[in-house]
Copies of this chain bind each other. A is one copy, B any other.
Amino acid sequence: MVTGEPERVLDPVGRFNRRRVIDTLRIAGRMARVELTAATGLSPATVTAITAELLRAGVIEETAAEPALEGAEEVEVRRGRPRVALQLRPDAAYVAGVKISMHQIAVTVTNFTGDLLGSEIIEARASRRPAAEVADWLETALRQGVASAGVRLSDIQGVGMALPGFIDGEAGVCHWSPVFEEPLTPFAELMSVRLGRPVFIDNDANLATLAEQWFGAGKGIPNFVVVTIEHGVGMGAVIGGRLLRGARGFGAEFGHTKIQRSGALCRCGQRGCIEAYLADYAILREASTRAPVEGVSDPVLAHQAWRRLLEAAHAGDMGMREIYARAGEILGVGLANLINVFGPELVTLTGAGVAASPFFEPAMREALALNTLSASADQAPVIIRPNADSVWAHGAAALVLERLDFPLAS
């Protein structure tokens, strides 16, 4: 977290247990204290102290209980106490999440329980631009999004930002991103100073994964993988319930794994990367071999060109269909490799690129079947999720909710 506010000194053990109570309530929805004790593994005295503190701070609230656990209810009834449950107070905090891609910026605002209060999308040509310029667009988009959610920026407890590229979220530093001109940008600090709010940044595919874990198909699944097809090809992995960050903090990198020696040339300068067959630039490159494609140097025009090619495939263009089918085959081999090394329970595919799934999915599934081990008969299902940038931005908001601590900064 990078913020202009003075740091508050908090007991780290206390914070850890407080976090545990909040996260348990978030997943359960509502729980009686006795259930909370069982679910957190904390002592009854600790749970009583923490919940009292959180009630005082307005972070949680008491509510009429529904019986969630049979046994727990019986205990309460035997003791003759009125049955009261605890839940997070939705208005305890507001946070914002932002997704920056090369042709647009998506903003969402959520309350403390992660419910969407509003979302906005603005067009922006964020391709190798000065960080200060991207920051301008972001601030405009954010102020617009926050206003349309009926919240004041000063009420936002933190902003999460999803960026493509190599992001060290812990340090708040962008090591490289296609949206920035500068190779190294301390972007969390830059935005935090500008907005006067705490700002957290992370790789966009990681936040798409967090969105899947908090709100989507990954809910409650300890091991799953998310693959994103956009301007680049990204991934995130949840292992044992936690996002894989790796030693460098950059998370998992799938787009530049190689599945073909001396294969297609990739923007990274290497050959045979999955991205060199699958990313939007790879599709435009193949299509331009058949007929000139306009505007590939501008990210907004390139995205429009990509959409026109997809429309051509829908209209029956067999050449375009063949291009997507080949991309699908490569994707299938890549997914098979991921399934082999991670052994996930689920793989989800998302990103703007899944709009082309009617044309790549059959070849993808065939390659997947041909390249996973027969021993994995009960192989991880691969599902395609409809994409919306607001979902990624929702994941960016979840990143803030995951890191908020109490008492809140004001």
Contacts and interface: CB of A to CB of B under 8 A. Distances in A.
A279 to B, nearest CB: 15
Interface stretch (A81-89, A245-253, A401-409): A245-253
A1 interface: no
B176 A375 contact: yes
Contacts of A144: none
A258 B336 CA distance: 8
A259 B258 contact: yes
A341 B257 contact: yes
Contact of A342 (B175, B244, B336, B345): B244
A102 B269 CA distance: 42
Interface string A302-313: 000000000000
Interface residues of A, number: 48
Contact of A268 (B344, B374, B380): B374
A256 B13 CA distance: 44
A270 interface: yes
Contacts of A268: 373-374
Interface string A370-383: 11011110101000
Given A13-B41, A175-B375, A248 B343 contact: yes
A251 B239 CA distance: 12
Contacts of A235: 341
B343 A246 contact: yes
B341 A252 contact: yes
A375 B250 contact: yes
A85 to B, nearest CB: 24
A380 B247 CA distance: 8
A239 B245 CA distance: 9
A270 B370 contact: yes
Contacts of A13: 41
A240 interface: yes
A283 interface: no
Interface in A335-360: 336-338, 340-345
Interface in A269-318: 269-270
A248 B376 contact: yes
Interface in A224-262: 235, 237, 239-240, 242, 244-248, 250-254, 256-261
A166 B239 contact: no
Contacts of A338: 341
B336 A253 contact: no
Contact of A371 (B252, B258, B374): B258
Nearest to A269: B374
B373 A340 contact: no
Given A239-B239, A270-B370, A344 B260 contact: no
Contacts of A376: 248
Nearest to A270: B371
Given A341-B341, A375-B166, A223 B247 contact: yes
Contacts of A378: 248
A320 interface: no
25 contacts: A176-B375, A223-B246, A237-B341, A240-B242, A244-B343, A246-B343, A248-B343, A248-B376, A250-B343, A250-B375, A252-B341, A253-B340, A253-B373, A254-B341, A258-B336, A258-B337, A259-B260, A260-B260, A268-B373, A268-B374, A270-B371, A337-B337, A338-B341, A341-B341, A341-B342
